[in-house]
Amino acid sequence: VNTLSARPATAVPLDRVLGDPWHTDNPLGYAAVLAADERGEMLAEGERLLTRFGLNAEFVPGEYDGRFVRADRLADTLRALWRRDPCLGLGYGLSSLIASMNVWTCGAESQRRWVARLLLNGGRVAAAFHELDHGNDLGSAECFAHPSSTGWLVTGRKEVVANLHRAEAMVLFARTGSKGGSRGHTQFLVERASLPAGRVSDLPRIHSSGMRGVQLDGMRFEDCPVPAQALLGQVGQGMEIVLRSYLVTRSVVPAVIIGPLDTALRLTLDYALDRQLYRGAVADIPYVRTVIARAFADLLAADALSSVTVRGLHLVPETMAVYAPAAKYLVSGMVVDAFSALRSVLGTQAYLRGGRFAMFQKLARDIPPATFGHISRSACLVTILPQLPRLARTSWGRGDPANEAIFDLGGPLPVLRLDRLDPAARGDDVLAGTLNALAGSADATLEGRYAARFAETLGALRAHCLALAPRDLTINASPAAFALADRYTVVLAAASALAVWRRAGDRLPREVLLGVLDRLDGRLGGQPVLSPVEREETEGKLFALALERFRDGTSLDLSARPIFPC
């Protein structure tokens, strides 16, 4: 296997560039981030600093002089940015990544070089896919490209696209076959400056309740000439390219959105320690400690699944068509649920746009698009459903376990091969294999009992998925079929957590794993594995660890790294 170890981080780690969030003079501190949000603008100074840091290099493959070599490193860097400001994270970061991924996946050499140069010079690429009339239903997108003597003539609209007005280039998804559908669309890499002014017009900016600084734009094309060399991939290949390249971005998004939850938990701890009620701190109220402990456990569970998913891009590319939507579905749901729980602790302060805790309301508004943008949660389940009967048949009974490297967070990874990502998911479900192996060797410890519990759940899922009716493998699936796919994602998270903890040895406390598994088990219903006393002890330890990390200035995720400048 062609392995590479983690490349040295960029000269100045991003957290150092972002600086102390509480310093009022910091151009990237919370005060500046909130002021930009109130104005509905991107934080201009933040964008300048990110350009100086060379953030775009994280999105450009190493062979084109960028730093995109490892998906886990990319996710770590973006997570640091999202911890500070999701608007910068999406408007400066993720939007160009999503667009350019189509180019790395299938662009011609000249197109890759051009986009690499554009990004390395601080430019932007917009992903012009969405049309308000069609949403997730990309197969019905109507913006049309007709062949012409010099290339193509585009007619139609694109809407709710980040940075569409100010990006130097766009990846345009247009219909090229009269019926649309899976082979009826094509992608084009278009330079904005090359479009004749009279044939393209900017539609008014679209305003949103969260991500207020991100410019969501629309554009209208009227017989707009696009040169022949703009063709990205082949005619009719548009959807196939989407399905392949978005396996990367749909894997990275879950890992990234853990950043805002980390900040929200930190704000909640700060509030609970500071706020005095009934002659004590709010943090002394047992119920409040429990809410915080559970949100922390959810963050760690989400991190276990998302970290394994991101590493899976390198190690099991042939199965990512299941793991990427599973992570996108479960993690976005858990993060939004955790925000909701934490809001109950902050009460009024979770609602006020001013004062020390105002970042909470901003983050709580910024995070919901994670549940519907770049594929909705229900569409994720619809993507997973048709794959379940095959996985149940081939992998869930006695499939092979995963290569241990997938659980070795931060450890060496084989080269990322975009050409091996398979939208049809022909690979085996090795995470299920790992779970069954763990259950097979389980002892009477609590971890052993959890392994057995989740393996039993997988066994029950197997029986149900083998009996799924053809209709339940389509968008017309019954709620019961959706529930099976939902439970499957929880099993994947549990398998990931069990294996990540086992691999980490003493580096991750055992009690914390029990809290993580208890939370995941709670999503399945049924009799808890932990007794009430065991659960209270576990949650007490989780709260204590969260507090320790908060006071030490280390992140609350699995990396537990220092996140504020010394």
Q: DSSP letter at 482?
A: H
Residue 95 CB, nearest distance to ligand FAD (Å)? Answer: 5
| Strand bridging mode 169-175 / 125-128 | parallel
Residue 210 CB, nearest distance to ligand FAD (Å)? Answer: 7
Give the residue with the Cβ less far from ligand FAD, 130 or 289: 130
3-state SS class at 134: coil
CA distances (Å), origin 264, targets 179, 242, 274, 292, 350: 46, 32, 15, 10, 10
Give the residue with the Cβ less far from ligand FAD, 172 or 517: 172
Residue 382 CB, nearest distance to ligand FAD (Å)? Answer: 4
* Measured distance CA(494)–CA(111) in Å, rounded: 41
* Helix H or strand E encompassing 399: none
DSSP 62-74: GGGTSSBT-HHHH
Residue 129 CB, nearest distance to ligand FAD (Å)? Answer: 3
Residue 176 CB, nearest distance to ligand FAD (Å)? Answer: 17
Give the residue with the Cβ less far from ligand FAD, 163 or 306: 163
* Measured distance CA(378)–CA(376) in Å, rounded: 6
Residue 345 CB, nearest distance to ligand FAD (Å)? Answer: 27
Give the residue with the Cβ less far from ligand FAD, 283 or 468: 468
Phi, psi (rounded to 5 degrees) for 153:
-120, 120
Binding residues for ligand FAD, rule: CB under 6 A, are 95, 127, 129-130, 135-137, 160-162, 208, 211, 214, 216, 369, 372-374, 376, 378-379, 382, 475
Give the residue with the Cβ less far from ligand FAD, 208 or 403: 208
Token pair 């990540």 is found at: 500
Tabulate helix, strand, coil % of the chain (nearest 5). Answer: 60, 10, 30
Give the residue with the Cβ less far from ligand FAD, 369 or 399: 369
* Measured distance CA(401)–CA(488) in Å, rounded: 17
Residue nearest to ligand FAD (CB): 135
Q: Are 300 and 538 in contact (CB under 8 A)?
A: no
Residue 371 CB, nearest distance to ligand FAD (Å)? Answer: 9
Residues in CB range of 220: below 8 A, 6 or more apart: 156, 157, 200, 201, 203
Give the residue with the Cβ less far from ligand FAD, 372 or 564: 372
* Measured distance CA(365)–CA(388) in Å, rounded: 34
* Measured distance CA(202)–CA(165) in Å, rounded: 7
Closest CA to 256 of 73, 28, 501: 73
Give the residue with the Cβ less far from ligand FAD, 130 or 462: 130
Residue 385 CB, nearest distance to ligand FAD (Å)? Answer: 9
Q: Are 237 and 251 in contact (CB under 8 A)?
A: no
What amino acid occupies position 446? L
Give the residue with the Cβ less far from ligand FAD, 62 or 373: 373
Tell me how many degrees the CA angle 50-55-57 measures, rounded to the nearest 5: 145
Closest CA to 55 of 25, 26, 2, 15: 15
* Measured distance CA(202)–CA(347) in Å, rounded: 41
Residue 85 CB, nearest distance to ligand FAD (Å)? Answer: 14
* Helix H or strand E encompassing 387: none
Token pair 């009227």 is found at: 222
Residue 193 CB, nearest distance to ligand FAD (Å)? Answer: 20
Residue 362 CB, nearest distance to ligand FAD (Å)? Answer: 14
Give the residue with the Cβ less far from ligand FAD, 135 or 410: 135
- The structure tokens listed for 256 are 């990234």
Residue 500 CB, nearest distance to ligand FAD (Å)? Answer: 30
Give the residue with the Cβ less far from ligand FAD, 262 or 366: 366
Give the residue with the Cβ less far from ligand FAD, 106 or 556: 106
